[in-house]
Amino acid sequence: MRSIHFLVMTGVFSCFLLFHLILPVAGIASPDLTGGDYQATGTLHVDGSPVGMEIALDGRVAGQVPESGVLIIDNITVGEHAVTGSFPGYASQEMWVNVPDGLPVEIRIDLSRKLMGSLDISSSPPNVQIYVDDLYKGITPAVVEVEAGSHVVLLRLSGFQDWSTQTDVAGGETTVLSGTLVPVSKTPVSSASGGPSVLVTMLLIVAGVMVAYGQIRRR
């Protein structure tokens, strides 16, 4: 009985040493998955062009595609995320990706150049301010490069009424616009046309009153 009891105690003590001293020191003990501090994460590899393309993850900038052509984003929460690629002069692209726990996921984003056109704008009178979609673009006459699509053009000059129009621009083509600005109408100042002026009229009235008063005094 003593030998059995000794063996049981030895086994319990060995288990205690294994789980509480040896495994934690060796770094083999499994993490506490039920703890509040643990969060499953994964890695995303974004392969794409052009180089320098900005990558946003769920609306926040995560980095830019380097010369190697692959941007590595670590410590991403496991689950579905929105990935957006953007670069000046290119159309942005968005895709959804499901990031697994511990395993890297790879995606590719290739941006296409935006279709561009131009506006050839003149005016009467010349040297008028040009606004395209509320952005200042210079003085007429001028050729303004814009993205293909619909745009609002406004011409403005002090002393004249604004001139505006909406126009469509096709990719690779030039749309010609010419605006005529109308002077701002001013309220005409009334002037006496014939007859005595107001001052003369008042003097005549005063003189008439004085003459009448003098005649009354004489009586």
Report yes or no: 122 and 134 within 8 Å, Cβ to Cβ.
no
pLDDT per residue over 102-123, tens digit each?
889 999 999 998 889 999 999 9
Residue 35 lies in a domain: no
User: Within this chain, do residues 94 and 135 fall inside the same structural domain, yes or no?
Assistant: no
Is residue 103 assigned to a domain? Answer: yes
Averaged pLDDT, 33-44: 71
pLDDT for 123: 96
- Residue 131 placed within a domain: yes
Contact 64, 88 (CB under 8 A): no
pLDDT for the residue numbered 39 = 72
Distance between CA atoms of 163 and 178, rounded to whole angstroms? 10
Q: Verify that 91 and 144 share a domain, yes or no.
A: no
Q: Which domain holds residue 100?
A: 41-110
- Domain assignment present for residue 24? The answer is no
**Residue that terminates a domain, selected from 86, 110, 134:** 110
Domains of the chain: total: 2
Do residues 103 and 44 lie in contact, with contact meaning Cβ atoms separated by under 8 Å?
no
Predicted pLDDT at 174: 95
Domain match, 91 and 59 both = yes
- Asked if residue 50 belongs to a domain, the reply is yes
Is a pLDDT exceeding 60 seen at residue 7? no
Two tokens, residue 74: 């670590």
Instruction: List, for residues 178-212, the tens digit of each pLDDT value.
Output: 999 999 987 655 554 555 566 767 777 777 767 66
Burial class (CB in 10 A: 0-12, 13-18, 19+), 53: buried
- C-alpha distances in Å from residue 134, one per residue of 145, 164, 213: 15, 11, 71
**154: in domain:** yes
User: In the prediction, which pLDDT does 204 show?
Assistant: 75
In a domain, 29, yes or no: no
Question: Which position has the token pair 């002026």?
Answer: 197
* Residue 121 belongs to domain with CATH number: 2.60.40.1120
Question: Which sign, positive or negative, has the C-alpha torsion 212, 214, 217, 219?
Answer: negative
146: in domain: yes
